[in-house]
Amino acid sequence: MAKAAGKHLTRAMLAARKAMGARANRACPACGKAVVGFFRYGGNAEWGCPDCGASPRERLMNHLIATNVLRVPVEGAILHMAPNEGSLVRRFSAASDYVPADLDPGRYSVPGMRQVDLMALAEADRYDLFYASHVMEHVPDDHHVLRNIWRALKPGGEAWLIVPLWDKPTEDGSFDIPPRERERRFGQWDHVRQYGPDFADRIRAAGFDLEEIDASGIDADVRHLFALDDRLFRARKPGGTA
């Protein structure tokens, strides 16, 4: 509740600054608008876009796509888990075979939502792109899920994964741990682990080639303009022609 209150206050302050004629010297790559700043959320002073609400990770993804670092396979098949980010729904739904999905599809208003349990994902060689942002910290057995994702991708297909990270090694839990303790240890009641940089090792162990794209590696002026943050784990299933 405290988080929500702080967020709204700051968002209101941004609106006031804009109304008073503050110069929009920042920009959001998710909605394309010039903005006077980004609103605070939790410990991040530049979290949300005041126009579209995009988070730093949503802005990072849009920036990487807009600059052709990442290519959306519009002629192919995309499995988009937990499709909360409107700008990415717009980009991915241009694909000829777009599958927005969640364990609990009723929570989303995206057309065509399907029920997908990543623990039971049994498809093979089906997708060109798998996208999941802040999903892997919810699944009971991430080693199993990573292998399922690997199998579901076509050779040369990519999984774009973003998870909450800390600097320490990954700490695993389970749903046997009471929700209040999970919230204390993993930051949210429905998380079962907290990832560290060694998430990379788990991705490679599932058979992927991996590239890590961290916002800190992007040109400082660009990073400042868009208030980019977070790290993308870009995993590629070997093979194919790409």
Contact string (CB under 5 A) for Zn ion, positions 19-38, x = contact: ---------x-xx-------
Instruction: Report, in Å, the least distance between residue 104 CB and Zn ion.
Output: 26
Closer to Zn ion at the Cβ: 49 or 153?
49
Triad 88, 127, 158: Cα angle to 5°: 70
Instruction: Report, in Å, the least distance between residue 210 CB and Zn ion.
Output: 29
C-alpha torsion angle, residues 100, 104, 109, 114 (rounded to 10): 40
- For the chain, the farthest-separated pair of C-alpha atoms sits apart, in whole angstroms, at 55
Instruction: Report, in Å, the least distance between residue 57 CB and Zn ion.
Output: 13
Strands (E), 144-227: 153-162, 171-172, 193-194, 209-214
Closer to Zn ion at the Cβ: 89 or 200?
89
Q: What is the 3-state secondary structure (H, E, C) of 11-26?
A: HHHHHHHHHCCCCCCE
Closer to Zn ion at the Cβ: 33 or 147?
33
Residues from 36 through 55 that contact Zn ion (CB under 5 A): 49, 51-52, 54
Closer to Zn ion at the Cβ: 54 or 162?
54
CB 35 within 8 A of CB 26: yes
Instruction: Report, in Å, the least distance between residue 49 CB and Zn ion.
Output: 3
Contact string (CB under 5 A) for Zn ion, positions 123-142, x = contact: --------------------
Q: How far apart are the first and last CA of the chain?
A: 46
Residues from 53 through 72 that contact Zn ion (CB under 5 A): 54
Closer to Zn ion at the Cβ: 30 or 159?
30
In whole angstroms, what is the distance from residue 2 CA to residue 10 CA? 12
Residues from 70 through 129 that contact Zn ion (CB under 5 A): none
Q: Give 3-state DSSP helix, strand, coil % of the chain, rounded to 5.
A: 35, 25, 40
Size of the residue set binding Zn ion (CB under 5 A): 7
The enclosing H or E element of 232 equals: strand 231-236
CA distances from 133 to 35, 40, 178, 234 (A): 24, 20, 24, 12
Closer to Zn ion at the Cβ: 38 or 127?
38
Instruction: Report, in Å, the least distance between residue 55 CB and Zn ion.
Output: 10
Instruction: Report, in Å, the least distance between residue 51 CB and Zn ion.
Output: 5
Applying CB under 5 A, the residues found at the interface with Zn ion are: 28, 30-31, 49, 51-52, 54
